[in-house]
Amino acid sequence: MSLLPYFVAGWLLLIGCFGVVRSRDLVHTVVCVAIAQSGTYVLLLSIGFQYGASAPVQGAPGPVVDPVVQALTLTDIVVSATVTALLLALVIQIAKRTDTVDPDELDELRG
Amino acid sequence: MTRSARWIVFWLGAGGVGVLIVLALLKMPSFGGLVHPYRELSVPAAIGRSSPNIVSSVNFDQRALDTLGEETILLGSVVGAAALLRPSKDEREQLDQDEGRVLEATKLLGYLLLPVTLIVGADVVTHGHLTPGGGFQGGVVLATAVHLLYVAGSYKMLRRVRPKSWYQVAEAVAAGAFVVLGLVGLLLTGAFLANIFPRGVLGDLFSSGTVFYLNVAVGAEVTSGVVVLLSGFLAQALSVREVR
């Protein structure tokens, strides 16, 4: 099944979105957003992968895997971490101001 | 929106996206294949600039402008989180006298690992152009080392050894240093973030030109950024109390 890793990436994106919709707790929502984004890591890394190739550091034996997508994945991880931090800070503010972290209750409070 | 309406919207959207993803992926080249056009271009470029870690060369030389953007996102997010997490006007910082007990084994392990983690972090940052690693990864390791003080010692000890304002200044200076290095390149060669320093011998510590210095700048920024972020979250959990 030579396309399986790509489908895993698509699955992670959709299951992350599913979790966001199903969520009853904003911290859970933030983690689901991070999972949806991790689909892009899997997609990028599987595009650059080659059977039998080693890590993209010179001196490694044989061919190396694609370093450009690995660099993109690193950027992606940093962005994901910063987004998660910012969203968690927002959750703390929401919890303080409304005394709840359930998205449905927020909806009812604000009408 | 009611929950059932939200589910209908989700299944319609997810179904559409899912069909598009499957249609797109069926046309992808087979996983693990031999054709990698980006690799054929970036590997010779990295070796030509004495940077054995090709990922670092891509991040800090071949597409350093993107990394500047990435670093700015990090800076923006730290500033945003720090603004959101600062105590409001009816909150004060109060330290609990009783901080609970730390297991002796945890203390021992924490204090033993603290210097080791600092050295590993510094190693990962400074050898970022030679071996797997770099400023981002090493910065996170260094920030973790600082927080071993909290795990093994106490929150008070962490606050004494970690003056938050220093890290805020360090973060801004490190982010500025990246831009300054880019501007020096612009002045000397006409290209922003050009690799201006001597490339050195492949495999030496001071080789690969600007990659080394950009790695150190990013390492300092990530360390300070993570420390400032975690200090905000820790203060919210441990010391910020509402006063009436």
**What ipTM score was computed for the predicted complex, to two decimals?**
0.86
Comparing alpha-carbon positions, the chain A residue that sits nearest to B28 is A3
Nearest-CA distance A101 → chain B (Å): 16
Q: Is the pLDDT of residue B199 over 80?
A: no
The residue ranking higher by pLDDT, B77 or B97, is: B77
Residue A95, chain B, CB below 8 Å: the answer is no
Return mean pLDDT, chain B.
88
Residues of A with CB below 8 A from B47's CB? 58
pLDDT value, residue A111: 45
Going by pLDDT thresholds of 50, 70 and 90, the confidence category of residue B32 is confident
Q: What is the mean pLDDT of residues B167-178?
A: 92
Q: How far is CA A74 from the centre of its chain?
A: 12
Reading the block at residue B48, the tokens are 């030509």
Q: DSSP assignment, residue A1? A: -
pLDDT value, residue A1: 58
Q: What is the mean pLDDT of residues B181-200?
A: 84
Comparing alpha-carbon positions, the chain B residue that sits nearest to A59 is B52
Q: Which of A72-76, B71-75, B137-141, B155-159 has the lowest mean pLDDT?
A: B155-159
Yes or no, beta carbons of B132 and A55 under 8 Å apart: yes
pLDDT value, residue A37: 94
Yes or no, beta carbons of A50 and B32 under 8 Å apart: yes
pLDDT value, residue A109: 59
Comparing alpha-carbon positions, the chain A residue that sits nearest to B48 is A58
- Phi, psi angles (nearest 5°) of residue A42: -60, -40
Residues of A with CB below 8 A from B18's CB? 10, 14
Residue A86, chain B, CB below 8 Å: the answer is yes
Yes or no, beta carbons of A50 and B81 under 8 Å apart: no
CA distance A77 to B75: 15
Q: Which of residues 46-75 of A touch B (CB under 8 A)?
A: 46-51, 55-59, 64-71, 74-75
Residue B91 pairs with which residues in a beta bridge? B242
pLDDT value, residue B243: 77
Reading the block at residue B229, the tokens are 């972020």
Q: What is the mean pLDDT of residues A26-32?
A: 95
Which among B14, B67, B76 has the least Cβ separation from residue A18? B14
Q: Measured between alpha carbons, how far is residue B7 from residues A36, B156, B203 in Å?
A: 17, 47, 56
Yes or no, beta carbons of B55 and A65 under 8 Å apart: no
Reading the block at residue B144, the tokens are 């973790």
Cβ atoms of residues A35 and A23 within 8 Å: no
Going by pLDDT thresholds of 50, 70 and 90, the confidence category of residue A110 is low
Give the residue carrying structure tokens 């698509």: A10
Cβ atoms of residues A104 and B1 within 8 Å: no
CB atoms within 10 A of CB B237: 10
The residue ranking higher by pLDDT, B164 or A60, is: B164
Nearest-CA distance B59 → chain A (Å): 6
Yes or no, beta carbons of B58 and A66 under 8 Å apart: no
Tell me the angle at which helices B104-126 and B135-152 cross, rounded to the nearest 10 degrees.
Answer: 160
Q: Is the pLDDT of residue B120 over 80?
A: yes
Q: Is the pLDDT of residue B44 over 60?
A: yes
Q: Is the pLDDT of residue A108 over 70?
A: no
Cβ atoms of residues B185 and B228 within 8 Å: no
Residue among B172, B165, B178 nearest B217 (CA): B178
